Amino acid sequence: MKKGRFSLQASIIIFVCLVVALSLGITDLLISKRITSSVEETQKEKALNIAKMVSLSPQVIGSLEGKTNPTEVQAFANQIKVKTHVNFVVVMDMKGIRLSHPDPSEVGKKFRGGDEGPALRGKEYVSISKGILGPSMRAFTPIINSQGKQVGAVAVGISLENVTKAVHKGRMGMVIGTLIGILIGVTGAVVLARFIKKILLGLEPFAIARLLEERSSMLQSVREGIIAIDQEGKITLVNRAARKLFKKAGLEGNPIGFKIEDYLPETRLTRILQSGETEVDQEQDLHGVTILVNRVPVVVDNQPVGAIATFRDKTEVQLLAEQLTGVRNYADALRAHAHEFMNKLHVILGLVRTEQYDTLANYVSETVNHRETENGFVTENVQDPVLAGFLIGKQSFARESGASLSFDCSNKLPQPANPEITHELITIIGNLVNNAMEAIADSPIKKVDLKLDYAEDILTIEVKDTGMGMTKAMQNKILDKGFSTKGDNRGFGLYLLAQAIERLEGDLIISSKPGKGTNFAVYIPYKAEDEEE
Closest CA to 152 of 99, 88, 76, 101: 99
Residue 261 shares a structural domain with residue 360: no
Residue 299 shares a structural domain with residue 394: no
CA quadruple 21, 27, 28, 29: dihedral sign: positive
Q: Residues 6 or more apart from 154 whose CB is under 8 A from it?
A: 51, 54, 55, 60, 89, 90, 91, 92, 140, 141, 143
3-class DSSP assignment, residue 223: coil
Parallel, antiparallel or unpaired: strands 225-230 and 235-238: antiparallel
Closest CA to 2 of 175, 184, 206: 206
Residue 294 shares a structural domain with residue 366: no
3-class DSSP assignment, residue 382: strand
Parallel, antiparallel or unpaired: strands 404-409 and 447-455: parallel
Residue 372 shares a structural domain with residue 439: yes
Alpha helices, DSSP H only, in 110-159? 117-120
Count Cβ neighbours within 10 Å for each residue of 506-515 and write b for 16 or more, e otherwise: bebebebeee
Domain end residue (candidates: 313, 347, 369): 313
CB 98 within 8 A of CB 106: yes
Q: What is the pLDDT of residue 1?
A: 47
CB 56 within 8 A of CB 224: no
The C-alpha atoms of residue 447 and residue 73 are separated, in whole angstroms, by 147
Question: Is 287 contained in some domain?
Answer: yes
**Which long-range contacts (C-beta less than 8 Å, at least 24 apart) are formed by 220-228?**
223/312, 224/310, 224/311, 224/312, 225/291, 225/310, 225/311, 225/312, 226/308, 226/309, 226/310, 227/255, 227/260, 227/264, 227/269, 227/308, 227/309, 227/311, 228/298, 228/306, 228/307, 228/308, 228/309
Beta strands in 404-506 (DSSP E): 404-409, 447-455, 458-465
Instruction: Report the interhelical angle of 357-381 vs 314-353 (nearest 10°).
Output: 170
The C-alpha atoms of residue 237 and residue 372 are separated, in whole angstroms, by 57
The C-alpha atoms of residue 175 and residue 40 are separated, in whole angstroms, by 19
Residue 275 shares a structural domain with residue 396: no
Question: Is 433 contained in some domain?
Answer: yes
The C-alpha atoms of residue 494 and residue 508 are separated, in whole angstroms, by 11
Mean of per-residue pLDDT scores for the chain: 78
Residue 272 shares a structural domain with residue 132: no
Question: Is 474 contained in some domain?
Answer: yes
CB 25 within 8 A of CB 178: yes
Residue 386 shares a structural domain with residue 469: yes
Q: 511 is in which domain, residue-wise?
A: 356-532
Domain end residue (candidates: 290, 313, 336): 313
Low-confidence ranges of the chain (pLDDT < 70): 1-9, 31-33, 35-36, 131-134, 162-164, 166-167, 169-171, 173-174, 201-209, 212, 214, 216-221, 314-344, 346-347, 351, 360-376, 481-492, 530-533
Residue 416 shares a structural domain with residue 505: yes
CB 389 within 8 A of CB 327: no
The C-alpha atoms of residue 361 and residue 133 are separated, in whole angstroms, by 148
Q: What is the pLDDT of residue 153?
A: 92
* Strand ranges across the sheet with 507-512: 404-409, 447-455, 458-465, 518-525, 507-512
Question: Is 246 contained in some domain?
Answer: yes
φ/ψ of residue 296, rounded to 5: -135, 130
Helix, strand and coil percent figures for the chain, each rounded to 5: 50, 25, 25
Question: Is 155 contained in some domain?
Answer: yes
Whether the model clears a pTM of 0.85, i.e. scores above it, the answer is no
The C-alpha atoms of residue 388 and residue 329 are separated, in whole angstroms, by 10
Residue 284 shares a structural domain with residue 407: no
> CA dihedral defined by 65, 68, 71, 72, rounded to 10 degrees?
-110
Q: What is the CATH number of the domain that holds 459?
A: 3.30.565.10
Q: What is the pLDDT of residue 167?
A: 64
Q: What is the pLDDT of residue 533?
A: 42
How many folded domains does the chain comprise? 3
Residue 77 shares a structural domain with residue 162: yes
Residue 229 shares a structural domain with residue 118: no
H or E, element range at 249: none
**Which long-range contacts (C-beta less than 8 Å, at least 24 apart) are formed by 162-169?**
162/43, 162/87, 163/39, 163/40, 163/43, 163/137, 166/39, 166/42, 166/43, 167/35, 167/36, 167/39, 167/40
The C-alpha atoms of residue 278 and residue 269 are separated, in whole angstroms, by 10
CB 491 within 8 A of CB 482: yes
The C-alpha atoms of residue 415 and residue 412 are separated, in whole angstroms, by 10
Question: Is 199 contained in some domain?
Answer: no
Q: What is the CATH number of the domain that holds 306?
A: 3.30.450.20
First to last CA, the chain: 55
CB 154 within 8 A of CB 55: yes
Domain end residue (candidates: 313, 328, 344): 313
Question: Is 442 contained in some domain?
Answer: yes
Residue 161 shares a structural domain with residue 263: no
Beta strands in 188-263 (DSSP E): 225-230, 235-238
Strand partners, 408: 451
Question: Is 440 contained in some domain?
Answer: yes
